[in-house]
Amino acid sequence: RHAVQKTEIRLYNVKSGSWYYFPGTGYRDAAVCYDGINYFLAAVRTESQNASLVIFKVTENKTHTRVIKTEQFSETVFPAGDVPFSITCGGGSSFAYLYKTRLDFSIRVYDVAGGTTAVYSVPAERISLRDLSLAANGKIKKTYLFSWAVPGTMPRLGELVTDGTNGTFLLQTEDV
């Protein structure tokens, strides 16, 4: 037995009820996006204190009932100790995720087609983020929701609204 738990990814096709067992271990926080032509899967690969965001292209059979293969499309390696987590589809071929470096949190959006990452730094100190999700997916404007807290508060609702280049944070100010 291994002292470290080996994590793995499984994809479930809701149309056919079939499972695809993703090859390899050490992956966590996976999400799937569809850009109208291709499916992409993003996952965090962790080895010791090192993490990376790995993007895979997912190929289905002709009847779209079963995954037949996955191919690595790109990989973004992060500095040792930095933690990407809570990946969600960012609309089309983009993935959004929370990112922690030391005690600083940010929301990052990786565009698969362009290979670029937009970074939205949280406008508060000692803030902790959790549970990112895409709430509204417009052609340009996107809205992400998340949970946030600072010492002495309960978790609160946060919102990030982006227009492709700029982002505006809205943070709930009272405990519910």
Question: For residue 148, what pLDDT is reported?
Answer: 95
Contact 79, 99 (CB under 8 A): no
Contacts of 104 (CB under 8 A, 6+ apart): 121, 122
CA distance 85 to 30: 9
Name which of 3-17, 58-72, 133-147 the model is least confident about.
3-17
Length of the chain in terms of residues written:
176
Q: What angle do CA 163, 76, 108 make, to 5 degrees?
A: 25
Average pLDDT, the chain: 90
Spatial strand order in the sheet of 116-121: 83-89, 94-101, 104-111, 116-121
Predicted TM-score of the model (pTM)? 0.91
Give me the mean pLDDT over the 128-137 stretch. 94
Dump pLDDT digits (tens) for 64-101: 888 888 899 999 999 999 999 999 999 888 999 999 99
According to the model, what pLDDT value does residue 174 have? 84
Confidence category of residue 115, pLDDT binned at 50, 70, 90: very high
Range of lowest pLDDT (46-50, 83-87, 95-99, 112-116): 46-50
